[in-house]
Amino acid sequence: MAADSMEIDDSLYSRQRYVLGDSAMQQMAQSSVFLSGLGGLGVEIAKNIVLAGVKTVTLHDTKQCETWDLGSNFFIRQEDVLSQRKRAEAVYPWVAELNPYVHVDKSYATLDDNTDLSFLRTYQCVILTEARLSLQKRVNTFCHSQQPPIRFIGCDVYGICVRVFCDFGEEFEVSDPTGEEPKEIFIQTITQDNPGVVTCMDNRTHGLETGQSVRFREVNGMEELNGTARQVSVLSPHSFAIGDTSHLQPYGHGGFFVLVKTPRTYCFETLERQLCDPQVLTPDFNKPEAPLQIHAAMMALDTFQEQHSRLPNIGCLQDAEVLLKLTEEVNARLSNKAPVNAELVRCLSRTARGALPPLAAAVGGLASQEALKALTGKFAPLQQWFYLDAIEVVRPLQSLSAEEFSPRGDRYDGLRACIGESMCLELHKLRVFMVGCGAIGCEMLKNFALLGVGLAKSSGEICITDPDLIEKSNLNRQFLFRPHHIQKPKSTTAAVATLEINPDLQVDAHLNKVCPATEGVYSDSFYTRLHLVVTALDNVEARRYVDSRSVSNQKALLDSGTMGTKGHTEIIVPNLTESYNSYRDPPEEEIPFCTLKSFPAVIEHTIQWARDKFESAFVHKPSIYNLFWQNHSSAEAVLQRMQARESLEGAFQVVRLLRRRPSQWEQCITLARLKFNKYFKRKAQQLLHSFPLDTRLKDGSLFWQSPKRPPSPIEFDLKDSLHFTFIVSTARLFAGIYNIPYSEKDLSEEAVNRILCDVKVPEYQPSEKPIETDEMVKKPDQMKMSLSSEEEREAITQLEEAIAANNVTPERLQMQPLQFEKDDDRNGHMDFVASASALRARMYSIEAADRLKTKRIAGKIIPAIATATAAVAGLVALELIKVVGSYGFESFKNCFFNLAIPVVVLTETAPVKRAHIRNNIYFTIWDRWTVCGHEDFTLSDFMNAVREKYGIEPIMVVHGVKMLYVPVMPGHSKRLKVTMHKLIKPSVERRYVDLTVSFAPEADGDEDLPGPPVRYYFSHNADGETP
């Protein structure tokens, strides 16, 4: 993003633009940040704000690189330690290369109680980490007193405890507190009353709060409301009052309302004032007093450092008692306080010198987002403290000897101080499978490297897989990648970058998808070697599949995901928790076929219509065309079969494509012009012919009323840039699928106009073909629709003519299907979708969307920002330690957060449910029964074996989609004597199959009772494995 011109580099920032918006992005590009302290937390913040795209960042640090730093700072290397380089010097080049648009400076100057702070006036935001409380107070007071105030953020991480403090001045205005896009909601009725009551159409929820304002548009009858904003008073989820409407015209029909976003001003107090009466965010409602308890403990730690010029010694009981006494003294002085938590204070004392890298990552993500808020006024700021502890990580380790936590002079000393040597060794031995190497994947690999997960010398391994190549838009979040990596595989590139952070890791990088087709690679024996699975995926179906494989193989799964500033983590542990597949989100609401085809109401409908047109014309039809000619040897053979009245699926559509196939650029322009006429003029004419404006329904109401919008035919005008863009982009796409060359000169307005002058556009002839209005009707499959005899004769004639004209050469029986690529502006794909959508919106009087919004909806782009990615990966990595330590159920935490609001909610994982079959026989999703057979083992033997082993006899057996035994099915009783080998027909290498069984209900008429899967082994010694 060039700060001078304020142009935003969409190829780099596209995903983040959808989170922050252009105004905030441009404000960031003019802002300077001073960041002091380059330990694990400082470097996390530096990474995130440089990726986001501020103007300048000054990295300040006075310390020298130590071996200890290798375990917390992912930009410090062994050679930096050996050459006694300063941390700022070591980190600077790595941070600077993260974003070419950000100017990065470094400073080693002393910053203490005697420093002249006037140099800070050149910055809009100051962030202090690793600074004594006295210095934080002094710098904060200076920043708060400036006009305008310099936004101040103080962050600290000591062992298991972290804090973030924000002070953005006494009047900090936020333009958009939530960042949520307001939705257009259609109106059912508005009463003419005092107060007037608005009811939403189709019982849709409005999502409003009393005191908010909405703006009305397109209301018929009560037209005085249009364009006005009214404050609402919520009556129900579907209705609200808007004040006196009794003097307005009676409501007729139609219209919609949109929430009006109103700026909000926040007032902040200084650190000095907030210390005694802190305003805190509560992340874990199971521990509501924790933030205030950590506040007191960390203030006591500040006092300890002032008195002793050091932190408490690792494992020193005397220091712990001193800190506990100090905490009690501090707590007594607080006006907002909770009872002192002695366990927390002792754990803080023991770990204060240590570092949990995932904790720094998690809080670094949150603190970075606060810095972006400070610079842009986008999203509600943190008021004013955020506290988090990881006591669940260390609580089970308190009985270990002090020796466990003592330093050994290596990169893991900081981690060891928190979790002990034995746990470090377990992490080294870990064998992890991570699916996905995108934004979360890169962050997870960084966490693995700092934790020492999967060391080669300990027989550990990190296996990663991702089939994708690196694109420029990835560089904004996927911090292991650089511009010279573009078009290289994500997994192998990430593996090399991870080894730079920690060369002792063993990383095995694959380029595979994880799906049923790759079960030969990611087989049960592959999963057997693993300790746990981590997903770093961006779609639900892939998650569901990986979850099913993890459950089947009894492996823990750590899942996470982000959407914009929102993030979630889910921890799935064998025999303790439910799995990802235990819950199903409601399916996404599909746009009805008739709405897309004829009655769009909102811009999302026109964008989806344009995207569908792209798919149909330039992907689906060429693919069907190619498949047809691959399956049929020649045009002559097809003609003979058609003449013999044979039914050939798709023949009519394929012959029509063959007849209309262009061979020159001019014909592509002609096709595009005819498409324009069909889409934007003839369609409207036909709709108005079938449903004139005064058409009424059976109940007497108007047909054309909200949400239905009557269309207006569009007259073609080459001077209209939208018309020109549609013609040229459509022609280019036709040229692409038909392999027709064209030059840059052919795309000029003059050249296109010359061709269009000769195009004969047929006159509109009204059709009596019915137009679908039923929202329940699905889109018909064109390939399977029956043809009339007239259409059959037409197809035969057209194919005869093509053969006679020698138009059935191998080249003409081949097309080039396109693949929609939203991020390449040179290919014309988005030009077509954006212009087609905008023209359709114009035809239906729908407010058009800009190209950015069109691209997001058409490309199904998930908004993303590095801050949220870093936070989820940190939270997941904390849980990984607990999984490795085989902690109890109550230790694990799932998390949902929205950094925009901000809200962070930590909850216990969902306990696994026990399903009752009968007679004290229960099972969970983690259970799997096993039966071992042999070559002559029959279905009857299998059912008897289940009864003998588990005390209940199955009445139905299913393998995949094949029913092996259902008593009511004809002939199935004979199968009881057939061998399992013959029924299942396994491949030679197949050792077992998983079967679904059901049991008889206790009462007649009830449904069959489900049971756990039964794994049937074809022999007792399948590869020596004894189940």
The CA–CA distances, whole Å, from 233 to 209, 588, 658 equal: 7, 30, 61
Q: Are 466 and 489 in contact (CB under 8 A)?
A: yes
Respond yes or no: is residue 594 known to be catalytic. Answer: yes
Q: Are 601 and 704 in contact (CB under 8 A)?
A: no
Q: Which has the closest alpha carbon to 939: 956, 960, 927, 962?
A: 956
Rg from Cα positions in the chain = 33
The CA–CA distances, whole Å, from 1003 to 839, 914, 917 equal: 62, 21, 13
From the CB of residue 722, how many other CB atoms can be counted at a distance below 10 Å? 16
Sequence-distant (≥ 6) Cβ neighbours of residue 487 within 8 angstroms: 469, 470, 471
Q: Are 150 and 143 in contact (CB under 8 A)?
A: yes
Alpha-carbon span 695 to 728, nearest angstrom = 37
Rounded to the nearest 5 percent, the helix, strand and coil shares of the chain are 40, 20, 40
What's the sign of the alpha-carbon dihedral 894, 899, 900, 903? positive
Pairing mode of beta strands 507-510, 532-535: unpaired
Length of the chain equals 1027
From the CB of residue 944, how many other CB atoms can be counted at a distance below 10 Å? 14
The CA–CA distances, whole Å, from 473 to 261, 446, 854 equal: 29, 20, 17
Q: Where does 644-682 have alpha helices with state H? A: 651-660, 665-677
From the CB of residue 632, how many other CB atoms can be counted at a distance below 10 Å? 16
| 3-state SS, one letter per residue, for 298-319 | HHHHHHHHHHHCCCCCCCCHHH
The CA–CA distances, whole Å, from 223 to 216, 226, 253 equal: 9, 6, 10
Q: Where does 334-400 have alpha helices with state H? A: 342-351, 357-376, 391-394
Q: Of 594, 668, 895, 932, which one is the catalytic site residue? A: 594
The CA–CA distances, whole Å, from 39 to 69, 128, 211 equal: 7, 11, 45
Q: Are 649 and 784 in contact (CB under 8 A)?
A: yes
Beta bridge partners of 535: 435
Answer left, alpha or beta for residue 549, where phi above 0 means left and psi between -120 and 50 means alpha: alpha
- Residues recognised as catalytic: 594
